[in-house]
Amino acid sequence: MEQRKTIMEKITDRVIYGNDTSWNMDIERFDWGPGVGLYGIWKAWQATGKEEYLRFLEEWINRHLKEAYVQKTVNSTAPLLTVLTMWEQKGNEAWLRVCEEIAAFLLEKAPRTKDGGLEHTVTEAGAGFSQQMWADTLFMVCVFMARLGRVTGDLRYIAFSRRQLADHLRVLRDEETGLYFHAWDCAGQNHMSGVRWGRANAWILYSTALILSAIEGTEQEWRQFAQSAAAMRAVQRENGAFGTILNDPSSYDEISATAGIAAGMALGRACGVLGREYDLSIEKALQAVSAAVGENGEVGGVSGGTPVMPSAEEYRTIRIQPTLYGQGLAAAALAEAGRGKTENAPQSSAVR
């Protein structure tokens, strides 16, 4: 455990003390990559208590908070999850006010697909992804909304997160394998290339556990989570990793997917939903994640930013590079695996 704490600190320090300006590792932006990186720092602070981590987050928020209004998109919402958790810690009411104002936009004005799901909107210029629902949205928006509902007592946010979770799981689930597709095209009523992308499944499993633990998920909701975890466990590789295409043994090991799935399983264990049979899966996944961390704390084996690709072959050839979301998910996985039993677990162990 002490060794993993040291690895977590190396991963986190690489983000805090780096001076990167490339898109994939530049944390000085209000976007989804930095948002996942910030959440990893928050989880590392919870696990280590290192005040320098908390200080970095506070200073980052003070530098960037006004940027929350520049682009109101799914992806630019991601940093607000850490802003909200920092408000819980520090009580700065200006931080909460921004969270509630962006949440009001999401409730009332954010683009919806004709199926009722949030349209996956991004910060990059271009045509966008009209009428598309992506697995990524659950982490970028719905975890934040669930937690906001919990800490404020506003049931609108809880209802929103519960509905969006249910809608995304419904349209993205592959009934044949129990795994999830990357996205759903509501206009064409199809999954486009139909790939069971590794990181999409990581977003889904970890986000579902975070959302349900925040909103006190029902037994049925937790049961569906457990079924998803079982489907992913069935395609885990012998070395503990998960592939960039989960059901394709020829695709490369992908460490951000491995970390996100491990984080979801570890939180499921802490909530009492998953049984002891998952301990070995989590342990092997963490070994794969730890082995991918370089001496400088950089997490290797992470695929670059990935829109819905036209074919499975194009998923297999996505460039490997260090990324903030790779750093954040790796830190989160190590932190989740080190936590004890959590509150808001379901009342019955029958969900297993």
Chain segment 56-104, per-residue pLDDT in tens: 999 999 999 999 999 999 999 999 999 999 999 999 999 999 999 999 9
Find the length of the chain. Answer: 352
- Cα–Cα dist 85/95, whole Å: 10
What's the CATH fold of domain 2-339? Glycosyltransferase (1.50.10)
Domain ranges (residues) in the chain: 2-339
- Return mean pLDDT, the chain: 95
Kindly tell me if the per-residue pLDDT of 127 is higher than 90: no
Residue 125 has a pLDDT of 82
Helix or strand run (H / E) with residue 96: helix 93-108
Query: Which residues carry out catalysis?
Result: 136
Residue 351 has a pLDDT of 56
Specify the pTM: 0.97
Phi-psi region of 211 (alpha: psi -120 to 50; beta: other; left: phi over 0): alpha
Q: Residue 180 has what DSSP assignment?
A: B
- Cα–Cα dist 162/264, whole Å: 17
Q: What is the mean pLDDT of residues 256-280?
A: 98
Kindly tell me if the per-residue pLDDT of 128 is higher than 90: no
Helix or strand run (H / E) with residue 157: helix 155-172
Q: What is the mean pLDDT of residues 117-129?
A: 89
- Cα–Cα dist 279/267, whole Å: 11
